[in-house]
Amino acid sequence: MIKPHGSDELNPLFVYDSEKRHALVAEAEKLPTLLLNSAAAANAVMLGGGYFNPLTGYMNKADAMSVADSLHTASGLFWPVPVVNLTRETGIEAGSRIALRDPNVEGNPVLAIMDVEAVEQVSDDEIRAMAEKIFRTLDENHPGVATFTELGNTLLSGPIQVLNFSYFQTDFPDTFRTAVEIRNEIQEHGWDKVVAFQTRNPMHRAHEELCRMAMEDLGTDGILIHMLLGKLKPGDIPADVRDASIRKMVEIYFPPNTVMVTGYGFDMLYAGPREAVLHAVFRQNCGCSHLIVGRDHAGVGDYYGGFDAQTIFDEEVPDGALELEIYRADHTAYSKKLDKVVMMKDAPDHSKEDFVLLSGTAVREMLGRGEAPPPEFSRPEVAKILSDYYQSLDS
């Protein structure tokens, strides 16, 4: 199986030894506490699950600035997005040991314990400089920019020990998996070559066929359909609805034992190209050999070019920085001429009218009225789940 990023073995920061974990939970009750923001909490969950291997905790200012600027830490580790604990709290001192509390669970239970190695101030200009590199814009209407620039100016760095996986394990017990669990499951399947499909949306026919194309073109043993379970921007479909619709599609339309439907506990960054590279890093940590990178991968609005998330792998990812390879996908749609889903680049003799193309707005309006989109666009069983959801919003 493919090696994790940056090390021979995966090193998750979750404390698996139950006796040690219980002792840390008890210790945490006596420690000074910090209520995390959702972004820092999501980083802790990803560190705990091994997705952010080989990091041992939150980055310091030098590493964060270096990663934003050059996709490498100060010591040279390839990494695409700063993994930070930015806060508005003051009074925490370097050298202290603190309990990190979860903002997303009632009662704010302890999520992790942190040994604070450094407490550094980051100026507004430095925050904006990092944001511009990560998101390629400073437009405050960009949801990632809006979140990142409001986290705070105090940066806490140092190693953490993760004590639970926030709400993800309880709310999505059948879907949430750590990178450790996914690697183990791939091994149990006996799969060697695995392609990952990233999604924060339900899957329509085009997505379904894209997964098949990738599996066939690459000759993989299976596919990891890996959905984001964390915070999204307003208007995005909730994770439980996405989960149900994807599982229904896989159950009916894919051969048994070819697909793993799983999810991970992270908040969407909407960072386009940089986030695509981050997706590649943590899919390598999951044990995947390939990642599908499609049109406007991890994008939002019109902030990124259609294929910027592919070209970054040519222009900014050094040779050998990752073992995982990407599968480059064009926009896929149902061809009326060929009576099947194709990549649009593979049908140069087609005009727009030869494809079944529907905007997200049009689809939402149809579903809200209880109308099923054409079967060439969406499987009827999937459309039913989504229609029930949209109609519930109006009732």
Active site residues: 200-201
Q: Is 325 helix (H, G, I), strand (E, B) or coil?
A: strand
Look at residues 308, 321, 294 and name the one whose alpha carbon lies nearest to residue 137.
308
How wide is the angle at C-alpha 369 spanned by C-alphas 367 and 374, nearest 5°?
Answer: 45
Contact indicator for 222, 260 with CB cutoff of 8 Å: yes
113 vs 11: CA distance, rounded Å = 17
For residue 209, the tally of other CB atoms under 10 A from its CB is 19
CA atoms within 13 A on the CB side of 338: 15
Neighbouring-strand partners of residue 154: 87, 121
Distance CA 78, CA 72 (A): 4
* CA torsion angle 74 77 81 86 (round to 10): -50
| φ, ψ dihedrals at 234, nearest 5° | -55, 140
Bridge partners of 225, per DSSP, are 197, 261
Residue with the two structure tokens 């009632």: 106
Continuous H helices in the chain:
18-28, 38-48, 61-70, 124-135, 143-148, 168-171, 179-189, 205-218, 239-253, 273-286, 308-315, 360-368, 380-394
SS3 21: helix
